[in-house]
Amino acid sequence: MYHEEIKNYIKEWITKNWSLYYNINKIDVTIEKISIKEAKVDCIAQVSINKVLKAKSVGELPYIKGILKKINIADYERKLANELKVEKVFNANKSSLNNNEIRKMVKLLDDKYLELEEYIGKAYDSYIILKFEAGLVENIIEDKTIKLYVEQMNGFISANELIPKVPQEYEDMGSKEIVSALNVVKTEVEISQNLYVGYDRLKARDYAITWTSNASSYCPHGIALQNTSKWNNTKWPYQSSLCHNDCADFVSQSLNAGGIPIDPGKWERFNDGNNNWAWTYVPGLKNYMLNQKSYWKLSTWENASAGGVIVIPNSHVMMIVKNDTIERLYSAHTNDRLNYPYAKNTSWEYYVLW
């Protein structure tokens, strides 16, 4: 009872709010834990969405339009020779930007386009857990009482916080990113390097997508949703000490897959106890990457993208696996999550390595 009605409502809500930016190919909704009592229905719904950006090029994305407008160019070709890109930006901004600032703009655009080009024309799946609540009048769902909430790591929040913004807001975000980037321009050498030169953020992203799942069963202690058959047990064997407590281990594996080298005794799985267990313990990992090695730098919800990390201070860490400028996704363990959307949260910390 009510299953189909709730499913249809969720599908219509997703279609209505995401179809400005995406062609939605398929929405699957599975109703779980439905409860009906005291003239109220509530349930948990597992949702998977397959969709593709409507934009036919990176330059069509509102966020990128905002960046390009700010530096007075109509389009950008990442595959051009670097000096030709520098010359193009210089000619459009020679009265307002110096050489280092122009090279910073080119590197920023290259980084953005490198990831975003992969999303143009390519459908992908994302997953979400929703809580549906509504009042009943004579056993009929009363539309005006319907409320939707989305699961985030620290509980449920209003699902409205995930709804994409209007195009002008994304353009404004892009313009603000350029201004922020110009404020931290230093030397040409620093512009050309990542915080760790050998880091490949897209390899880290791919690892984090490959070795997790949207688990529906709990660990032996009934605390966290886990499916250890989806873990990389060949290279990083499961250890009982990591049961419902392996978020940092998973992120460390992903960072290592992206090129961050094992540091014996300092950042080494189960062998860095004298360094606050930097591989497997959230505060230790953050301290090692941010303070001891300076591999991480603080970013923002708007700008942090695939290969970056999200830290919930002292408790949890997640890998960012997608930021197509409209939607932001993470993958994680504890709970196991794959391609899961996250809303802006002022208590979370966003870090990048470039």
Is the bond leading into 335 cis (omega within 30 degrees of zero)?
Answer: yes
The residues of the chain that CATH labels 3.90.1720.10 are 194-352
Question: For residues 322-350, b (16+ Cβ closer than 10 Å) or e, as one string?
Answer: bbbbbbbbbbbbbbbbbbbbbbebeebbb
Query: Residue 43 pairs with which residues in a beta bridge?
Result: 132
Q: Please enumerate in sequence order all residues whose Cβ is within 8 A of that of 345, keeping only pairs 6 or more positions apart, or say none.
A: 152, 154, 301
CA proximity to 255, closest of 297, 276, 285: 285
343 with 157: CB under 8 angstroms? yes
195 with 297: CB under 8 angstroms? yes
Task: Kindly state the tokens that stand for 57.
Answer: 């090029």
pLDDT at residue 183, rounded to an integer: 79
SS3 45: strand
CA proximity to 232, closest of 254, 199, 203: 254
230 with 211: CB under 8 angstroms? yes
Task: Kindly state the tokens that stand for 47.
Answer: 């949702």
First to last CA, the chain: 51
Task: Kindly state the tokens that stand for 162.
Answer: 């995930």
- Alpha carbon 317 to chain centroid distance? 12
Superfamily of domain 194-352: endopeptidase domain like (from Nostoc punctiforme) (3.90.1720.10)
pLDDT at residue 195, rounded to an integer: 75
pLDDT mean values, one per 10 residues, the chain (354 residues): 93 98 98 90 96 97 96 94 94 87 90 95 96 94 95 90 97 92 59 71 97 91 92 94 92 98 97 98 97 95 96 95 97 96 96 93
pLDDT at residue 185, rounded to an integer: 55
CATH 2.30.110 fits 3-51+125-162, yes or no: no
The residues of the chain that CATH labels 3.10.450 are 3-51+125-162
- Between strands 328-332 and 316-323, the pairing is antiparallel
What element of type H or E holds 134? strand 124-137
SS3 98: coil
Quickly tell me which residue has 């899961």 as its tokens.
340
pLDDT at residue 165, rounded to an integer: 96
DSSP sequence for 85-97 = HHHHHHHHHTTT-
Positive or negative, the CA dihedral 302, 308, 313, 316 is positive
pLDDT at residue 194, rounded to an integer: 53
Task: Kindly state the tokens that stand for 255.
Answer: 């960072």
pLDDT at residue 141, rounded to an integer: 93
